[in-house]
Amino acid sequence: MIGGESIAPGARVTIELPVPQLYTHTPLTMPIRVVRGRRDGPRLFVCAAVHGDELNGVEIIRRLLRRPALARLRGTLIAIPIVNVYGVLHHSRYLPDRRDLNRSFPGSERGSLTAKVAERFMTEIVANCTHGIDLHTAANHRDNLPQIRGNLDDPDTLALARSFGVPVLINAAVRDGSLRAAAADFGIPMLLYEAGEPLRFSEYAIRPGVQGIFNVMRALGMIAPSRRSRPGTEPFVARSSAWVRAPESGMFRGAKPLGARVERGEPIGTIADPFGDAEITVTADHSGLVIGRTQLPIVYQGDALFHVARFEDVLGAAQQVEDFQAEHDD
């Protein structure tokens, strides 16, 4: 039961979950689509726009719900394309109280606006599910290589992460207040898919996201295996990752794209003053693959420029990313 509504086997329903109204006295709801199969099985939630400026996931869920395979679903799919309705309305990462929803879980019925939304999501969605996938993009003025983050020390989460079908997995510790941390307290294996940049649609991020969710649903036995599916390639798990930061303020020109392999000490960009009198070379602090980078050419000293993940087999990971990029470019 969600929002007081019971969903019968074989039903597909839209639920408008009430959230605090706007200050104009206008009612506001969080839209939810529930697809329940005729047979019982896993209950998977897929959500997007926890940060209101991260829109790729909204399109991923739209395409997901149009797939004919859902007619033969086993279990239940709960799709929430816009969690942070307030942020989407204002093209903002945050809610009107300037809080980050993904640092406010599990929330509180007696707390701030953000805490109330978080608590409603936990009690109505997470508490009714067995698994979860949270769709994100990079933060403001950044772009991310398609990647899965999760607690890969947990065998169930690792198995789902491997099934998703992206070449890079990040074993990321949970952060206090995040949806992943709150779901973990419920014993729910959960993946976080990161790809693309905010306020933009990217086919390179969207198509792997749709396919990845279906891969997970197949792994869970929610839909039948595809007759045309090819054997998946083994993803690479990053040992750790860190940002290369700007040594000085100025105009930044990056020399490495997403997915590029870099060596420790290798030049990966330059920073110059507006006159071009002084130019500083940015070098990699460690070897690895570029999984995130800034899109903004104006930087201050200390700004994050390149997010570089470390791997045991950097060459293998780089080849895997190259093959992945070629497949989705096609």
Q: Element (H or E) spanning 171, and its range?
A: strand 168-171
Share of the chain above pLDDT 90, in %: 88
CB of 132 within 8 A of CB of 105? no
Q: What SS3 class is residue 11?
A: coil
The pLDDT tens digits of the residues spanning 76-93 come to 999 999 999 999 999 999
Q: CB burial class (10 A; 0-12, 13-18, 19+) of residue 13? A: middle
List alpha helices for 131-202, DSSP H: 155-164, 179-185
Tens of each residue's pLDDT in the chain, 330 residues: 899 999 999 999 999 999 999 999 999 999 999 999 999 999 999 999 999 999 999 999 999 999 999 999 999 999 999 999 999 999 999 999 999 999 999 999 999 999 999 999 999 999 999 999 999 999 999 999 999 999 999 999 999 999 999 999 999 888 999 999 999 999 999 999 999 999 999 999 999 999 999 999 999 999 998 776 555 668 999 989 999 999 999 999 999 999 999 999 999 999 999 998 999 999 999 999 999 999 999 999 999 999 999 998 888 888 888 888 888 775
CA dist 87 and 185 (Å) reads 26
Packing angle of the helix pair 203-219, 155-164 (nearest 10 deg): 130
